[in-house]
Amino acid sequence: MSSQFRAIVVDEYSGEDGAADAAGPRRRGMLRTLDEDFFSADGDDARPLPRPATGVSIEVGYSSINYKDGLAVAGRPGIVRRLPLIAGIDVVGTVSASGDPRWAPGDTVVLNGAGLGESRHGGLSEHTVVDGTSLLRLPSAISQRRAAALGTAGFTAMLAMMALERQGIGPRSGEILVTGAAGGVGSVAVMLLARAGYSVTAASGRAATEGDYLRALGATTVIDRAELLEPGKPLQSTRWAGAVDSLGGTSLATVLAQISYGGSVASCGLAAGAELPSTVLPFILRGVNLLGVNSVDAPVALREAAWLRLAAEAQLALLDELSTEIGLSAVPETAEAILAGTVRGRTIVNVRA
Ligand SMILES: NC(=O)c1ccc[n+]([C@@H]2O[C@H](COP(=O)([O-])OP(=O)(O)OC[C@H]3O[C@@H](n4cnc5c(N)ncnc54)[C@H](OP(=O)(O)O)[C@@H]3O)[C@@H](O)[C@H]2O)c1
């Protein structure tokens, strides 16, 4: 008889506990108790999932809540592509068994994206099975808990900083703008950029309440995001050498219009919208670069480089300041909160709490 474990499983549920519901079944993530046989079923997708015999079995220490996890657990469309599925795009833990020769019991590992919580079982579980291909050994300088505090958000923030650097941007280039600054990607981006010596302006819808928090992370200036949300001219007075943008939409169009000659914007997210109501003018008249950041499909070499830099450059005490810890049972309510934009910084999930 296999041992049981708890997990947040996204599926179509009726009523609070699976009881009949007049409104019909609704997709969402619920805390369930599973056994190992769960990993033997493929759900409603023909593509095979990693199995305990061939994949890497992980005793999970921590996961986290990212915006995408909020969407998945709240049952919003477009994230989870097979049912039932264990949610969680981040996993940090210890290998318990491996059918992949690259990994052995006792290895401490981290994995962000790579289909977790979307098309493959994820990390919001006491136990999971993943494909070993994109798995990373956790650098010894980072604890499992702090690796989850960084999570996809921190990994993405580092990828964004590295993307700006590849365009020649450095601390002496000028002011760097971070949008969605009080959120996960934004908070870590402010912390990393400030630590690296950049002068950072944080744009937030919560500038009044989170200004002290953002300055503690290293922002030199905090502005209200409303400044960026008004549609404006395609070329405006230049304010920024570069930017890390989590918002998209009109805000990203405004940022592009305010970037200095030859500057760059790392586009990470769409918290304000997927559209980009801009023109080519910033690109052809100011040589502005719009840089795409995709953490999900990042190749292993880039993952390793980013995590080594996170281990060396993240300010661990500040990381603790920007993180809140919850247990698995609090995941559904936190999913709603992150979609409502009321979560500050990062939420770590201690899957055994
Ligand atoms: N490209 C990738 O690989 C990648 C990886 C991770 C995340 N993402 C994306 O990046 C974005 C941020 O993710 P996250 O995990 O950091 O989410 P998060 O913690 O919820 O942060 C998003 C922040 O954006 C701001 N915001 C939220 N709703 C808004 C709205 N309607 N209009 C304007 N600003 C709004 C809020 O910041 P303030 O309160 O400070 O204004 C919020 O804290 C999401 O779109 C996510 O899907 C992409």
Q: Are 139 and 161 in contact (CB under 8 A)?
A: no
Q: What is the DSSP string of 148-173?
A: HHHHHHHHHHHHHHHHHHHTT--TTS
pLDDT higher than threshold 90 for residue 313: yes
Domain 153-292 has CATH 3.30.300.130: no
Pocket of ligand 1, beta carbon within 6 A: 66-68, 152-153, 156, 180-186, 204-206, 225, 246-247, 268-272, 293-296, 338, 341, 343
| Closest CA to ligand 1's atom 24 | 180
Domain with CATH 3.40.50.720 in the chain: 153-292
Nearest Cα to Cα of residue 186 among 266, 292, 275: 266
21 confidence band (pLDDT: 50, 70, 90): low
Contacts of 170 (CB under 8 A, 6+ apart): none
Sequence length of the chain is 353
Token pair for 24: 């019909």
Taking the centre of ligand 1 as the mean of its atom positions, its distance from the CA of residue 242, in whole angstroms, is: 18
The reported pLDDT for the residue numbered 242 is 98
Dihedral class, residue 29 (left if φ above 0, else alpha if ψ from -120 to 50, else beta): beta
Q: What is the mean pLDDT of residues 237-249?
A: 98
CA of 338 to the centre of ligand 1 (A): 9
pLDDT score of 109: 98
Contact (CB, 8 A) for 205 and 229? no
Residue 19 pLDDT > 80 = no
**Mean pLDDT for the stretch of residues 334-346:** 97
Compute the average pLDDT of residues 22-45.
Answer: 89
Span 79-88, pLDDT tens digits = 999 999 999 9
Q: What is the DSSP letter of 39?
A: G
Distance CA 68, CA 59 (A): 23
| 263: Cα separation from own chain's centroid | 25
Which atom of ligand 1 sits closest to the CA of residue 210? 40
Ranking 1-10, 248-257, 272-281 by mean pLDDT, the lowest is: 1-10
C-alpha of residue 309 to centroid of ligand 1, in Å: 23
Q: Percent of the chain scored above 90 by pLDDT?
A: 91
Give CA–CA dist 9/71, Å, rounded: 13
Q: What is the overall mean pLDDT for the chain?
A: 95
pLDDT for residue 101 is more than 60 = yes
Q: Which ranges in the chain are annotated with CATH 3.90.180.10?
A: 4-138+322-350
Pick the more confident residue, 3 or 15. Answer: 3
For the residues 316-338, what does the mean pLDDT come to? 96
Ligand 1 atom with the shortest distance to the CA of 344 = 43
CB 347 within 8 A of CB 338: yes
Residue 1 has pLDDT above 70, yes or no: no
Q: How far is the CA of 179 from the centre of ligand 1 (A)?
A: 8
* Distance from residue 3's CA to the centre of ligand 1 (Å): 37
Q: Is the pLDDT of residue 298 over 80?
A: yes
In ligand 1, which atom is closest to the CA atom of 296? 3
Q: Return the residue whose CA atom lies nearest to atom 42 of ligand 1.
A: 183
Torsion of CA 276, 297, 266, 199, to 10 degrees: 150
* Ligand 1 binding pocket mutation candidate from 209, 229, 247, 336 (most atoms within 8 A of CB): 247
Inform me whether the pLDDT recorded for 29 exceeds 80: yes
Instruction: Report pLDDT digits (tens) over 169-211.
Output: 999 999 999 999 999 999 999 999 999 999 999 999 999 999 9
Tell which CATH architecture fits domain 4-138+322-350: Alpha-Beta Complex (3.90)
